[in-house]
Structure 1
Amino acid sequence: MLIDHFPVFGLRVRTPRLELRLPAPEELSDLADLAMHGIHGPDLMPFGNPWSELPPADRARRVIQRHWSTLAELKPDAWALNLVVFLDGRPVGVQEIEADDFGVRRQVQSESWLGLRHHGQGIGTEMRAAMLHLAFAGLGADEAVSVGYLDNHASLRVSRKLGYAENGTSRGISRGKLAPEQRFLLTRRAWDEHRRVDATIEGLAPCLPLLGVET
């Protein structure tokens, strides 16, 4: 079976409302359809690469290709998991967790997106909390970092709510123009003090060597 060779297909992170995991092919198609209907309003660009402004069909194809490429490039010293977020069995977005040389650094970073129709329901906070549970409780991370443009108020609000501390600014680029970024750092202690979302993990043990974690 495929899961015997690539155990990340058996990884599950669950919260009271959500399940984060890799999608089956038809579920990936549903995720691409979701992206076609929009990810954010026209007045905001949360990504350095403005893929979310591609024409709908190209945007959907990009979601699929991004999913395949991260799986193809996964290796212990450099990996990214594009975990699809499911609500009531349907995909609502993506919560990515990634790391370089995790076995040494013990640090993760994250990116995410949520279908526009699902904004404003607390899902963004809950799915980031699930990712942090995987990082700290599951993988044994020491730190998590996050970066958001200063005008992406929803993302910055999630980081602050979950205990991240401001960690300086940087000069990013958005739509070809200078866009100041706020950097955040979350320590294990701060995560433990601020966690409010119950989460469980299933199927992690077989994945640990693939993610650079010694067992």
Structure 2
Amino acid sequence: MFKKDETIKRMQRLQLNEESVSKEQIRMIRANIESKLDRDSNSFMLTSPTQEGEKSIISSKLALSFAEQGKKVLLVDANLRKPTLHNWFNLDNETGLTNVITREEDLQLHCKETLFPGLYLLPTGPIPLNLSDIWITKKINQLARKCQSEFEIVIYEAPPFLTVSDSHILVNHCDGVILVVRANKTKKEEALKTKEYIERTSQKILGVIYQTG
């Protein structure tokens, strides 16, 4: 666990840091998402073509922005290759997503309440030796249905789209996608290839976050 002063610093960065994406940008992104999602749609994932970038802090800030509106929000760390979301909220990663999928345990047992009212986190939980045991379409569909029925907004932080197949499976169980790209890091052909893949799934690209830092 983190020390108290480190926890405070992380909380402040989530709320105040303007380096990666400002509060006003987050509000604009949130409003754009709300305008594009259908009335019965409430889940989307953040991914990037290849680079991780600041995806974890952006998804955290976006989840916080929805929670500040009084919504019950679940932020899901679906990045089993590089789990980081629990660090931002000073929560343990002993149980989580993998427990719900592999052991079919109750979702609510592993959703962790953050210090921000209305915002819950489902960390990755223990990482299995064989990730193919997790990314099974039927199991992911069951997870997505549970999340969508128990929360008003569900945000998945997913691994880079072109690097591993995980995001290719998850995208079919979301209502839309936010693509995060980085100046001087993300290649144009990588971004276009990701866009083409996502469009083939008939999912909506709700927006693109362009990081200049």
Q: More strand per residue: 1 or 2?
A: 1
> Looking at both structures, which has the greater relative contact order when contacts are Cα pairs under 8 Å and sequence separation is at least 6?
2
- What TM-score comes out, normalization by structure 1 length? 0.30
